[in-house]
Amino acid sequence: MAEYVVLIYEDEAGFAKGGAEVGEQVMKEHMTFGEANGAKLRGGNALQPVSSATSIRTDAAGKVAVTDGPFAETKEALGGFYIIEAADLDEAIAIAKQVPARFGGVEVRPVMVFD
């Protein structure tokens, strides 16, 4: 079995507009997802809003820059992730299709294995 990371990208504005009710609904959807896929889940978590991010970059000369916020300005931000175990990419995609992402989408990436 291989491990895959399912990255959840959404527009944070949708949650802000929807208020607590939408947040509670989405949490219930994630709980349902977890119950349905518990045997395949290896971990996961939600992330704080993008406004809490700090980016650290090192240029070619070795100078380190620390800036508030994410590196890329995008409409959708990484809001959370799941680590799943699946036999292959097709199974990982089938599981990822069930991840609640009402204000965006998800990305599936295999976890790199080092010997």
- Residue 77 CB coordination number (10 Å): 21
Q: CA–CA separation, 64 vs 57, rounded Å?
A: 6
Q: Are 26 and 104 in contact (CB under 8 A)?
A: no
Alpha-helix residue ranges (DSSP H) falling in 38-83: none
- Alpha-carbon distance of 76 to 52, in angstroms, equals 15
- Retrieve residue 71's tokens: 């590196």
50 — pLDDT class (breaks 50, 70, 90) = confident
pLDDT 10s digits, 55-77 = 888 999 999 999 887 777 778 88
Query: Is residue 4 a contact partner of residue 83, using CB atoms and an 8 Å limit?
Result: yes
User: What predicted TM-score, i.e. pTM, was given to this entire model?
Assistant: 0.87
- Domains within the chain, CATH numbers bracketed: 2-110 (3.30.70.1060)
